Structure 1
Amino acid sequence: MKYQKPQSFIKADKIPIIDVRSPLEYQKGHIPLAINIPLFTNEERHEIGIIYKKLGKLQAIEKGLGFVGPKMMEIAQKARDISEHNERKVYCWRGGMRSEKMAWLFELIGMQCQVLEGGYKAYRNCQSADFSKIENLIILHGSTGCGKTEILKELSLKGEQVIDLEKLANHRGSAFGFIGNKNKQPTSQQFQNDIHNTLTNLDFSKRIWIEGESMKIGLATLPEALWLRMKKAHVIEIRVERTKRVKRIVKEYGLYPKPELMDSILKINSQFGKQNTQDAVHFLEMGQLEETANLLLKYYDHSYEYTRKRFREQSIFVVKSESGDSKENSDKLLTTLTKYMNLEVA
């Protein structure tokens, strides 16, 4: 049995990672790609916790042994069936009794185990330090409808390093953000873990692109350390003429059911204003999608101007474009960076 610090434990390899915490703990957040083989069920863990508080550690251990004894073979078999490879990585909350005893069990039947030193808690703590190390971070800003997500995809195809926050959050970052997403958003904890997992596969010596977002994307919250780093990063703003933005919005959202679009409009009623809301709903009902989008842009452009004030002190480079083509605009962004920021293409 070997003990590994978080940076070594999560290093990409073919060794399966086993999370031995309860299903509820796993659902709140886990190391990406980890498989849950719980030592205790949610109910069993709850009962052991009560006994620990009321009667003490020894009685709690005895109760735990009673739960585990009958299912030891089943647990071991599940761990063996994961992969034909003989090694396993194991972790619990603090790298204590649960992960140690499960690793002991797995090694008893011939597997070799690595245990996460400090457990999941240590893994979570190490994220802040990693986010703080990002030096070459580029924030892409732009008004609604500029096609920032598509631009980031084009940049990725050109070999640029990109963290797609909206994809990881499964939300587009507005009142309309949930539309078209069949899957639920991850928990904030899992969202942060997934961002960190993406980051571990990137080269910190090269620039990393990320879209300008608020602290929350839908219900998922950004890691505080990353948010603070974003506030100090270089900012490049793409400006696309309004008519092109309207057409993009209609193209992206026009095929979705009207009731879903209407619900999203009603969500911003208090900020949008009663008359504007009524007009937008009317245009939508009449099938006048460009008029609907144009009216909504008044609200989102106003919100964006408020956001721009927050990054005025950062290095801001503006790229103006008459085109709505994401590939063309990604080329313009790279040209601007090379010319004015002395940052070579990755």
Structure 2
Amino acid sequence: MLSIGVQEFLQLGKHHAIYDVRTPTEYAHAHIPGAYNLPIFSDTERAEIGTLYKKYSREKAIRQGFDIFGPKMTSFLDNLLLHGHPIGDTILFHCWRGGMRSNAMAWLANFYGFNALTLDGGYKAYRNFTLERLANTLPLIIIGGYTGTGKTNILHTLSNFGESIIDLEDIAHHRGSAFGSIGCETQTSQEDFENRLSASIPDTINSSMWIEDESRKIGTNVLPLSLYTQIQKSPVIFIDIPKTIRVQFLVDQYKDTDLAILEQSLSRIKKRLGGLVYSKAEYSLREGDIATCFSYALEYYDNTYTFGILRRDQSLIHRISLSAIDHKENAQIIVDYAKKHQLIKKASKG
């Protein structure tokens, strides 16, 4: 059975399907981004085999595993064929440590006529690779600014320009503020967040990599300390847009959201706003005056961001005053500024 290292496995995974043969619960907790779940055992079956291994012997556990695996073999092959794999196709399999589960599935696939490969060391090896990758130094340029400046939209526009980016909010399924979960997918485990974050870093970075300024905690997910430290010590292009324009941008973004959902989100920063300001913001919201509500909320977020930015090395802060939220135009202004002030670094390996 041919077993390959993590980097080769992931490179092949860009063009060939990866199947995670661990249990549904293991997969749901965290997995290699893009991998399909094709569990050899259910959660109950795996627990049963584990009990036999601990109480009796390895051999007894293996025999029970074969008793469970055998009747399922045809359905496993049917599943692969339904995914459109022709005979001879390369298919990648992994389990937790690159042991019996992935080897059994690879044996079956190879016997049928596929070219099955397994991951040496399994998901555990992948996790070690991921954590090492997240500790690497990246040539970052930070897009900073107050809430409502359209930083995420600018980030996507930079990507359209051919720049390398990391969209932390998309990876975390959260926009960072008290309102950040609205319209986003449910957040995943910290481990799965880290997996997706690692996968978002390209192998080759075209000069600098752009990333939005974030707190270390984005919803329930937490940035790895090494990356957060890099963000704190990298140059920041601070986008300064008038508050009235930012309020209108936020209104346009959330105007179709149910007021009850907005009120629930606002309540998360009740203590930080203070009783009087929160009461005014809540009253405005209940009256349908979203703009006034957001204006109160921005007082808190603007002050918090200002406090944080003043704690950094001020030589790294590059402030740009912009008069409107035009993502394409603002992105071009930012790139031109970065080039003029030599903030963009040479290409490197991720």
Query: Fold conserved (TM > 0.5)?
Result: yes
C-alpha displacement of 1:316: 2.2
In the alignment, residue 256 of structure 2 is paired with which amino acid?
A: L
Alignment of 1:207-246 (within 5 A): 207-246=208-247
Report how far residue 130 of structure 1 moved: 2.3
CA distance in 2, matches of 1:96, 1:226: 32
The answer on 1:9 being equivalent to 2:9 is yes
Q: Which residues in structure 2 correspond to 1:3-42 (within 5 Å)?
A: 3-11=3-11, 12-42=13-43
1:304-315 equivalences under 5 Å are: 304-312=305-313, 315=316
1:180 has 2:192 as partner: no
CA positional deviation for 1:10: 0.8
* Residue deviations 1:204-245 (CA, integer Å, cap 9, x gap): 252111111122221223344433433333322211111111
CA contact (8 A) 1:52 1:59 kept: yes
- Displacement of 1:63 in angstroms is 2.0
SS in 1 for 2:200: helix
Distance 1:78 1:293, change over 3 A: same
Residues in 1 aligned to 2:169 and 2:49: alpha-carbon distance in whole angstroms? 39
Aligned residue for 1:79?
80
Give the Cα–Cα distance (whole angstroms) in 2 for the partners of residues 172 and 324 of structure 1: 18
Query: Given the alignment, which residue of 116, 122, 139 partners 2:142?
Result: 139
- Say if 2:164 and 2:206, in contact at 8 Å, map to a contact too: no
Residue of structure 1 in register with 2:96 after alignment? 93
Distance 2:204 2:320 in 1: 26
Q: Secondary structure at the match of 1:236?
A: strand
Q: How does 1:278-297 map to 2 (within 5 A)?
A: 278-297=279-298
Identity fraction in percent: 37
Equivalent residue for 1:154, pick from 149, 154, 157 = 157
Residue of structure 1 in register with 2:207 after alignment = 206
Q: Aligned pairs, how many? A: 344
CA distance in structure 2 between the partners assigned to 1:208 and 1:260 by the alignment: 35
Distance 1:158 1:199, change over 3 A: same
Distance 1:59 1:227, change over 3 A: farther
| Structure 1 Cα separation of the partners of residues 129 and 169 of structure 2 | 23
Cα gap change, 1:234/1:39 in structure 2, threshold over 3 Å: closer, same or farther?
same
| Corresponding position: 1:43 with 2:44 | yes
Q: Deviations over 1:174-206 (max 9, x none)?
A: 11011123x322322222222222213x52252
Question: What is the CA distance between 1:344 and its match in structure 2?
Answer: 7.1
Q: Which runs of 5+ in 2 are unaligned?
A: none
- RMSD (CA atoms): 2.1
In the TM superposition, residue 48 of structure 1 has moved relative to its aligned partner by 1.5
SS at match of 2:260: helix
Unaligned runs of 5+ in 1: none
Greater Cα offset, 277-286 or 299-308: 299-308
User: How many Å separate the matches in 2 of 1:313 and 1:19?
Assistant: 47
Q: Counterpart of 1:10 in 2: which secondary structure?
A: helix
Q: Deviations over 1:261-282 (max 9, x none)?
A: 1111111112111111111011
The residue type paired with residue 241 of structure 1 is P
Letter in 1 for 2:97: R
| Partner SS, residue 159 of structure 1 | coil
Deviation string 1:38-64 (CA, Å, 9 cap, x unpaired) is: 110011111222222222322222221
User: Partner residue of 2:112?
Assistant: 109
